[in-house]
């Protein structure tokens, strides 16, 4: 290419020498354009060479890389196969574990559901028990209040019982002292138609008919009046006594005339006669005395014998303590 350029220049020179200035100028311009074009072509050609060399180098690098890749691909293929086998094994294990896990989770889900159902039932039962416990607690509170009230009432009753016992003991002591006083006042008469005894919280004074009356009569003889006067003196300071005077007969019908028609009349008249003698003592309050006739209906012995009938014909005085204070304690 460099050898052809001088010849072309000579040719142009020859042509220029044979042509007119106008043509010469035109040719010169064309020549300049050609030179510039040639220079551009050379620069372009040089650039192409450089790029071609660069491409050749890149090609060599690519070939080397391809060869390397081919070598690596064999190794990678083997590694890939191993990995693929491991992957398949892991996949199988995963599927197995997944299947087992699904069954396990299903079983656990059922178990959890059963536990939840059981828990719900337990909660309902607990709630029911809580309500019952609250009711029971309320009942216990009510019973405690009731028990406290009963304890208070029991303490009150116990105090009242103690008061009653003290009062009864006091009354019993009074009766014992009264019996002793009466026995002393009527000393010499006990065993002679008169008996004094204490029983059932009362003092019983029994005076047989012969000590007070003639047979079938209600008038009190002097011996009886003397005995009753002694008795009234012994009773005069006993303001809390109630004195019941009872007339008793045997079961032999009385065939009397006048005001005494039968044993009822006789028993009543004898009881009232005794009361009148007793009240002759002004220190004995008549309101303490009561007269009653019992006829033959409260015997103390067998009316089929003479001795039994004698014992049944009697005046019985029953001395009872006034129990008003006891009744007040019982209210």
User: Residue 221 pLDDT more than 90?
Assistant: yes
What is the rounded average pLDDT of the residues 229-244?
88
Q: What's the rounded Cα separation, in Å, for the pair 117 and 111?
A: 10
What is the rounded average pLDDT of the residues 187-194?
70
Q: Is the pTM of this model over 0.75?
A: no
Q: How confident is the model at residue 110 (pLDDT cuts 50, 70, 90)?
A: confident
CB neighbours of residue 71 within 10 Å: 10
Cα 61 to its chain centre, rounded Å, is: 97
- Spatial CB neighbours of 249, under 8 Å, sequence gap ≥ 6: 263, 266, 267, 295, 296, 312, 313
Q: What's the rounded Cα separation, in Å, for the pair 246 and 214?
A: 17
List beta partners, residue 317. Answer: 205, 245
Q: What's the rounded Cα separation, in Å, for the pair 203 and 33?
A: 180
What is the rounded average pLDDT of the residues 164-186?
76
Residue 248, SS3 per DSSP: strand
User: Residue 230 pLDDT more than 50?
Assistant: yes
Q: How confident is the model at residue 319 (pLDDT cuts 50, 70, 90)?
A: very high
Q: How confident is the model at residue 183 (pLDDT cuts 50, 70, 90)?
A: confident
> What was the pLDDT predicted at 6?
58
User: Residue 3 pLDDT more than 50?
Assistant: no
Q: What's the rounded Cα separation, in Å, for the pair 321 and 222?
A: 29
Decide which of 179 and 297 is more confident.
Answer: 297
Residues, the chain: 331
Q: Which CATH number fits domain 177-330: 3.30.70.20, 3.40.640.10, 3.90.25.10, 3.30.1330.60?
A: 3.30.1330.60
CA gyration radius for the chain? Answer: 77
Q: What's the rounded Cα separation, in Å, for the pair 311 and 302?
A: 9
What is the rounded average pLDDT of the residues 123-149?
88
Out of 160-169, 197-206, 233-242, 303-312, pick the least confident: 160-169
Domain boundaries, the chain: 177-330
Share of the chain above pLDDT 70, in %: 87
CB of 247 closer than 8 Å to CB of 207: no
Q: How confident is the model at residue 318 (pLDDT cuts 50, 70, 90)?
A: very high
Share of the chain above pLDDT 90, in %: 29
User: Residue 56 pLDDT more than 60?
Assistant: yes
Interaxial angle between packed helices 4-18 and 21-185, expressed in degrees from 0 to 180 and rounded to the nearest 10 = 130
CB of 316 closer than 8 Å to CB of 246: yes
Write the pLDDT tens digit of every residue in 4-40: 555 556 555 555 565 577 777 887 788 788 888 888 8
Residue 184, SS3 per DSSP: helix
Residue 4, SS3 per DSSP: helix
Q: What's the rounded Cα separation, in Å, for the pair 101 and 93?
A: 12
Decide which of 4 and 143 is more confident.
Answer: 143
> What was the pLDDT predicted at 59?
81
User: Residue 201 pLDDT more than 60?
Assistant: yes
Of 177, 231, 168, give the one whose Cα is nearest residue 200. 168
Element (H, E) at 99: helix 21-185
What is the rounded average pLDDT of the residues 233-237?
86
- Spatial CB neighbours of 273, under 8 Å, sequence gap ≥ 6: 218, 219, 220
Cα 89 to its chain centre, rounded Å, is: 66
């Amino acid at each position: 290419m460099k050898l052809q350029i001088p010849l072309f220049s000579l040719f142009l020179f020859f042509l220029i020498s044979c042509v007119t200035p106008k043509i010469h100028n035109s040719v010169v311009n064309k020549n300049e354009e050609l030179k510039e074009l040639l220079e551009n072509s050379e620069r372009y050609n040089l650039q192409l060479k450089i790029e071609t060399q660069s491409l050749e180098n890149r090609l060599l690098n690519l070939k080397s890389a391809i060869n390397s890749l081919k070598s690596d691909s064999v190794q990678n293929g083997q590694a890939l196969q191993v990995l693929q086998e491991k992957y398949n094994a892991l996949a199988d294990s995963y599927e197995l574990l997944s299947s087992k896990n699904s069954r396990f989770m299903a079983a656990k889900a059922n178990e959890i559901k059963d536990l939840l159902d059981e828990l719900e039932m337990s909660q309902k039962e607990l709630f029911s028990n809580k309500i019952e416990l609250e009711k029971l607690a309320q009942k216990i509170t009510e019973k405690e209040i009731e028990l406290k009230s009963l304890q208070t009432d029991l303490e009150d009753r116990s105090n009242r019982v103690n008061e009653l016992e003290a009062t009864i003991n006091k009354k019993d002591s009074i009766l014992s002292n009264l019996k002793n006083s009466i026995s002393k006042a009527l000393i010499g008469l006990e065993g002679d138609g008169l008996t004094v005894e204490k029983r059932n919280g009362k003092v019983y004074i029994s005076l047989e008919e012969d000590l007070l009356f003639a047979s079938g009569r209600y008038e009190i003889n002097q011996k009886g009046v003397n005995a009753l006067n002694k008795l009234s003196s012994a009773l005069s300071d006993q303001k809390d006594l109630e004195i019941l005077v009872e007339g008793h007969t045997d079961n032999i019908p009385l065939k009397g005339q006048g005001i005494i028609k039968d044993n009822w009349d006789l028993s009543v008249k004898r009881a009232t006669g005794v009361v009148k003698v007793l009240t002759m003592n002004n220190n004995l309050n008549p309101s303490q005395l009561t007269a009653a006739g019992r006829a033959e209906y409260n015997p103390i012995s067998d009316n089929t014998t003479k001795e039994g009938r004698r014992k049944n014909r009697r005046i019985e005085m029953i001395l009872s303590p006034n129990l008003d204070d006891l009744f007040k304690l019982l209210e």
